[in-house]
């Protein structure tokens, strides 16, 4: 076996990149992905100056599209990016599903990003207003293996900025922490700031102790996850106790259960944290129940 093969087998299965639907939305047009040309002066490319959103669809029906659009509008407003009326964002989501043949079958996602547009590099906004660049694609759900049987995670210091509530495309701190997780054989890194476990690099984070579901409260330090919101509503509706309070990182080894949520992850149990089993090392009853409730809500279109 070569050194490379050794490394490859030590790594968890990685999605080899998401095959993208042929038709994408760019510059107010639906075109083939191969026809897209992004200017090197695009502020997204040069400065990471933009925001994004990801929504999932099951057999052509989006999960909580209104909430995703609401968060996108909030991200745009906080970033002070005005999207042109030429970009009807809501219809872009639906249209991309249809134009790529995802409207009838299976699980698909739509990714949409808006950058501040094309302009010679300056830190301040362009002097002459420019049109934001909107790019969106549809793709089948990335194959992430069997998440339902549980994933492993590591904790890492949260090195992100202090407006994590805005869904910005500048994700280098998330990228570095997630890569550390992958190199460690784990799926996700749980980010810890000031002794508190906040969220994953691309997921919301929950702990369960004595049948109480705990997750960090909404603040500038976490993304207001749509799946998180739906899960909390489902807990309230079904009488599961919820405590939206900071989860001290030092209490995590004593948690009965841990789980993460996200648009493409849904609800995934964390069964190993920092190399140690969580609870008895198998998905716990509360997490399993919440995953079932979430699945049922999606199938019924109730979110
Ligand atoms: N990630 N926290 C962070 C930092 C995220 O990036 C995400 C989503 C979540 C979960 O949010 P939601 O339930 O709305 O998907 C929490 C997306 C999917 C991504 O970056 O691809």
| Nearest CA owner, ligand 1 atom 16 | 203
Is the shortest distance between the CB of 184 and ligand 1 below 6 Å? no
Ligand 1 near 287 CB (within 6 A): no
Per-residue pLDDT averaged across 119-140, rounded? 95
Residue with token string 């990685």: 14
Task: For residue 226, give the ligand 1 atom closest to its CA.
Answer: 14
The answer on pLDDT for 257 being more than 70 is yes
Ligand 1: which residue has its CA nearest to atom 9? 203
Q: Report the percent of the chain where pLDDT is more than 90.
A: 83
Estimate the share of the chain in helix, then strand, then coil, as percent rounded to the nearest 5. 30, 30, 40
* pTM > 0.95: no
Residue 7 has pLDDT above 80, yes or no: no
**Nearest atom (ligand 1) to Cα of 204:** 16
Helix (H, G, I), strand (E, B) or coil at 223: coil
Q: Which of 74, 107, 127, 167 is catalytic?
A: 167
Average pLDDT over residues 104-125: 94
Say which residues have a Cβ less than 8 Å from residue 143's Cβ, sequence separation at least 6: 15
Fold of the domain built from segment(s) 23-140: D-amino Acid Aminotransferase; Chain A, domain 1 (3.30.470)
Q: Is the shortest distance between the CB of 225 and ligand 1 below 6 Å?
A: yes
Ligand 1 mean position, distance from CA 95 (Å): 22
Burial grade of 67 (CB within 10 A; 0-12, 13-18, 19 or more): middle
Judged against a pLDDT cut of 80, whether residue 107 lies above it is answered with yes
Topology (CATH level 3) of domain 147-300:
D-amino Acid Aminotransferase; Chain A, domain 2 (3.20.10)
Q: Span 104-118, mean pLDDT?
A: 93
Q: Domain residues of the chain, as ranges?
A: 23-140, 147-300
Element (H, E) at 176: helix 172-183
Listed in sequence order, the residues at least 6 apart from 87 whose beta carbon sits closer than 8 Å to its beta carbon are 28, 114, 132, 134
Q: Whose CA is nearest to atom 3 of ligand 1?
A: 202
Any ligand 1 atom below 6 A from CB of 226: yes
Please indicate whether residue 113, judged by its CB atom, sits closer than 6 Å to ligand 1.
Answer: no
Query: 20 vs 163, which has greater pLDDT?
Result: 163
Q: 167 catalytic, yes or no?
A: yes
Yes or no: say if 198 and 189 are a contact pair by the CB < 8 Å rule. no
Answer positive or negative: Cα dihedral of 8, 10, 13, 19: negative
Q: What is the pLDDT of residues 12-70, one digit of tens each?
A: 333 444 455 799 999 999 999 999 999 999 999 999 999 999 999 999 999 999 999 99
Provide CB contacts within 8 A for 267, sequence distance 6+: 227, 231, 259, 260, 261, 287, 290, 291, 294
Is the confidence at residue 199, as pLDDT, over 60? yes
Ligand 1 centroid distance, CA of 118 (Å): 27
pLDDT above 80: residue 262: yes
Q: Are the CB atoms for 242 and 271 separated by under 8 Å?
A: no
23-140 against 147-300: fold identical: no
């Amino acid at each position: 076996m070569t050194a490379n093969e050794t490394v490859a087998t030590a790594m968890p299965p990685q999605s080899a990149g998401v095959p993208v639907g042929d038709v994408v939305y760019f510059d107010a047009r639906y075109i083939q992905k191969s026809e897209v040309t992004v200017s090197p002066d695009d502020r997204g490319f040069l400065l990471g100056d933009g925001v994004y959103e990801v929504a999932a669809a099951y057999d052509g029906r989006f999960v909580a599209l209104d909430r995703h659009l609401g968060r996108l509008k909030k991200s745009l407003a906080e970033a002070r990016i005005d999207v042109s009326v030429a970009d009807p964002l809501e219809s872009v989501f639906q249209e991309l599903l249809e134009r790529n043949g995802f409207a009838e079958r299976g699980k698909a996602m739509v990714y949409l990003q808006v950058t501040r547009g094309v302009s010679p590099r300056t830190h301040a906004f362009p002097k002459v207003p420019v049109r934001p660049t909107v790019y969106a694609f549809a793709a089948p759900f990335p194959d992430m293996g069997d998440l339902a049987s549980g994933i492993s995670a590591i904790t890492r210091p949260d090195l992100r900025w202090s407006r994590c509530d805005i869904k910005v495309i500048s994700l280098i701190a998330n990228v570095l922490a997630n890569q550390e997780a992958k190199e460690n054989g784990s799926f996700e890194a749980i980010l810890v700031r000031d002794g508190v476990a906040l969220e994953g690099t691309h997921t919301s984070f929950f702990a369960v102790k004595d049948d109480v579901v705990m997750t960090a409260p909404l603040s500038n330090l976490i993304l207001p996850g749509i799946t998180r919101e739906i899960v909390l509503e489902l807990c309230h509706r079904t009488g599961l106790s919820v405590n939206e309070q900071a989860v001290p990182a030092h209490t995590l080894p004593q948690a009965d259960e841990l789980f993460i949520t996200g648009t493409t992850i849904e609800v995934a149990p964390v069964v190993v944290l920092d190399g140690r089993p969580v609870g008895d090392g198998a998905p716990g009853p509360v997490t399993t129940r919440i995953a079932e409730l979430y699945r049922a809500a999606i199938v019924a279109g109730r979110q």
